[in-house]
Amino acid sequence: MSETSRVAKAFSTAAGESRAAFVAYLTAGDPSPGATVELAKAVAAGGADVLELGVPFSDPIADGATLQRAAGRALAAGTTLDDVFAAAEEIRKETSLALLLFSYANPLLARGVRRVFGTAARAGFDAVLLTDVPVEESREMRAPIAAAGLDPVFLVSPTSTAARMGRAAAASRGFLYVVSRAGTTGERSGLAASLEATVARARRAAGALPIAVGFGIATPGDARRVARLADGVVVGSALVACVEKSGKESPRKLESFVRSLVKACRR
């Protein structure tokens, strides 16, 4: 997509309102396929700009314990890729969230990537992030992503070289995802001491492309610090943990938690 994609507009709108865009993550099908749309509506009501909707996978190597449990619950509930697309269709009807398909490669390869990305676009997704496909190995994916009109989003980390950050930024649309620290996803006590330097390097590589920081952001205080450095703040495990702990109260408590994080993104 061009710079006028829904993802790009979300970041542009946030910047115009003197805040970082808030990017939320939910595992589709957790705790059940039927719950996903209501949780997404709660995220939207809390003020989120972008929703990463995760495809549950049996071997989520980049995920910490919280997201692994979420994927396990979703798979145990029978969640399929078709359920993910069906949820996206309803979320697109019910909210104005920009939607990002967040997945490992295997579930998509099993269906055929050209078919999958076309279906994703028709379902209402705006972008795609493949957790285990580095930019250097993404050539076969990028063509069908582009053909479907989706924004490809790539990851960089504190260990990425300047050259690799440059390649990932050049291949990304919508935003560049900056992993805040080495390791898996998950709530942490405090942010990495190297975060400011990592973001500065990513900023040089990205140029005008927005950058969003994720992994380990769990509190409004964390979000406030990241919002001073980056264009977007990504929160995943903390939201999934909220759902895990809240039972029937999940939509209400999730909305309240997201609202507190969005408020912290104001500059």
Active site residues per annotation:
52, 63
Give the C-alpha distances (Å, rounded to integers) separating 213 from 21, 22, 31, 56, 196: 10, 10, 26, 22, 11
Secondary structure of residue 212 in the 3-state scheme: strand
- Other beta carbons within 10 angstroms of residue 260's beta carbon come to 14
The residues, any chain, with a CB within 8 Å of residue 226's CB and separated by 6 or more, are: 20, 180, 191, 195, 213, 217, 233
The sign one gets for the Cα dihedral 17, 22, 28, 30 is negative
- Helix, strand, coil share of the chain (percent; to 5): 50, 15, 35
Handedness of CA 112, 116, 109, 211 (dihedral sign): positive
- Backbone phi, then psi, for 223, in 5-degree steps? -60, -40
